[in-house]
Amino acid sequence: MTRLDSQPWMSAPQTQKLMAALGEARFVGGAVRNALLGKPVVDVDIATPLTPDKVQQKLTAAGIRAVPTGIDHGTITAVVDGKPFEVTTLRRDVETDGRHAVVTFTTDWAEDARRRDFTMNALYADASGAVLDVVGGVEDMKAGRVRFVGDAATRIREDYLRILRLFRFHAWYGRGEIDAAALQAAAAEKAGIAKLSGERIAKEMLRLLEAAAPASVLRQMAASGILAEVLPDLLDIARLERLAEIDAANFFTPDAVLRLAALLPHDTRVAAQVSDRWKLSNAVRERLEDIAGSTEKIVSYLSIREVRKLLYRLGPQPFKDRLFLKWAEDPRAAMQWRALLAMADAWTRPRFPLTGRDVKQAGVPEGPLVGQVLGEVEAWWIDSDFTDDEFSLAERLKAVVQAVVY
């Protein structure tokens, strides 16, 4: 029998307290899969034969906060000393329409395993680490096989998001070719993706893009016509691939939005279109549109002075976004790009020493002229490489005022 070695998240006092409070419960999904693979575990999900009412009762009795976050499908979030866990009652999906499911609760672990998407995601472990595997998930996981539980086409028709999840999990945990039956079913059912909400598409696609090396999976999605269901044409998979290689070589944490930006063409309308379909937040949309519309000349041989100027004009994040995409377009200059990145990280914004008060004192009447003069002097100050020479600033101010007011 497979057994999990002791895991820090298992022995954590919050986990122990929760498992003791529930009694009948097992860890499930990503936590078990990743622990068996020796990969980091982010969130810990728990499955239980107890009904949601009973879960709520037991949590309350143990002084654990219970938040009914997904009560319709049996999920309660238990917050134990600040740490959240999703506790979901074992269930079977009775009605599906390709997007949502109507569920009934069960006490049968095998039934719960059969409603999960992939065999490697249908693994359970009890508080002692004993693994329950009713679908052959351990073997598939070890072999890097992302295999549907049951018939691929049937499972996809229940929830078309599983098409995207197939590629997402293959990018993260797959080895070799994508399961042929799964790939064929995904391609045949791809039109169903149109039914999915933008939020669900975005979540899966951004997770996919965060994989260490997502390009080959994206190429397969493109070849099977699936990528066109979620993204426009003219994608630059090669640029994304180089960005992923840069991340890997430098131990950078993958940035899903930046990777999406690398994939999209240099066209703000396309960035806007993707933001609409994926229902991206305003902050993310603005970042994508900013990158797609950028016009600055950013090269690996920028001088320190030019870098300071760009940083001041753009701000560090937009500068770095541009830098990374240019780096991906010209990866041979890695050393120079790294130096520019270090400058951006070490930069602190110089403060323009003049204010409207100084301008008024120099003889400009209250009104729009004040801002105009200030802007003129600031532009000169930026060109001076942010001089801190007060005398020359005052001289410049005087000269600008002369020209503008009189």
Q: Which of 18, 21, 30, 206 binds Mg ion (CB under 5 A)?
A: 30
Q: Does 289 bind ligand ATP (CB under 6 A)?
A: no
Stretch that binds Mg ion, among 28-36, 213-221, 262-270, 314-322 (CB under 5 A): 28-36
Nearer to ligand ATP, 45 or 306 (CB): 45
Residue 159: contacted member of ligand ATP, Mg ion, none (CB under 5 to 8 Å, by partner type):
ligand ATP
The entry of ligand ATP, Mg ion, none near residue 376 (CB within 5 to 8 angstroms by kind) is none
Residue in 26, 58, 162, 170 binding ligand ATP, rule: CB under 6 A: 162
Taking the complex as a whole, how short is the minimal distance between the CB of residue 158 and ligand ATP, in angstroms?
8
- Contact between 161 and ligand ATP by CB under 6 A: the answer reads yes
Rg (CA), the chain: 28
Answer yes or no: are the C-beta atoms of 197 and 204 closer than 8 Å: no
By a kind-dependent CB cut-off of 5 to 8 A, residue 162 interacts, out of Mg ion, ligand ATP, none, with ligand ATP
- Considering only residues 343 to 382 of the shown chain, the ones binding ligand ATP according to CB under 6 A are none
- Paired residues of 216 in beta bridges: none
Collect all residues with Cβ–Cβ distance below 8 Å to 399 and sequence separation of at least 6. none
Three-state SS across 66-126?
A: EEEEEHHHCEEEEEECCEEEEEEECEEEEEECECCEEEEECCCHHHHHHCCCEHHHCCEEC
Report which residue's Cβ sits closest to Mg ion.
Answer: 30
Instruction: Let me know: does 212 contact 251? Beta carbons within 8 Å.
Output: no
Q: Does 86 sit near Mg ion (CB under 5 A)?
A: no
What does 192 bind: Mg ion, ligand ATP, none (CB cut-off 5 to 8 Å by kind)?
Answer: none
Q: Which residue is nearest to ligand ATP (CB)?
A: 30
List Cβ neighbours of 156 (8 Å cut-off, separation of 6 or more).
Answer: 148, 162, 163, 185, 186, 189, 192
Q: How far is the CB of 341 from ligand ATP (least distance, A)?
A: 28
What lies within 8 Å, CB to CB, of 375 at 6+ separation is none
Size of the site for ligand ATP (CB under 6 A): 13
Give the sheet arrangement for strand 75-80, strand by strand: 65-70, 75-80, 83-89, 45-48, 26-28, 124-125, 131-132
Contact segment (CB under 6 A) with ligand ATP among 158-166, 285-293, 364-372, 394-402 equals 158-166
Rounded to the nearest 5 percent, the helix, strand and coil shares of the chain are 55, 10, 30
Among 133, 140, 159, 321, binds ligand ATP (CB under 6 A): 159
Is 141 a binding residue for ligand ATP by CB under 6 A? The answer is no
Least distance (Å) between residue 116 CB and ligand ATP: 4
Contact 387, 352 (CB under 8 A): no
The full DSSP string for 192-258 is GGGGS-HHHHHHHHHHHHTSSS-HHHHHHHHHTT-GGGTS-S---HHHHHHHHHHHHHHTPPP-HHH
Min dist CB 149 to ligand ATP, Å, is 8
The single residue listed with the structure tokens 């009795």 is 61
Query: Does 48 engage in binding with ligand ATP (CB under 6 A)?
Result: no
Structure tokens at 35: 């622990």
User: Segment contacting Mg ion (CB under 5 A): 25-33, 69-77, 304-312, 351-359?
Assistant: 25-33
CA dist 210 and 385 (Å) reads: 38
Residue 121 interacts with ligand ATP (CB under 6 A)?
yes
**Contacts to ligand ATP from residues 28-47, by CB under 6 A:** 29-30, 42, 45
- Angle at which helix 237-250 crosses helix 334-346, to 10 degrees, equals 70
Residues 196-225 within binding reach of ligand ATP (CB under 6 A): 207
Q: Which residues bind Mg ion (CB under 5 A)?
A: 30
Q: Which residues bind ligand ATP (CB under 6 A)?
A: 29-30, 42, 45, 116-117, 121-122, 159, 161-162, 165, 207
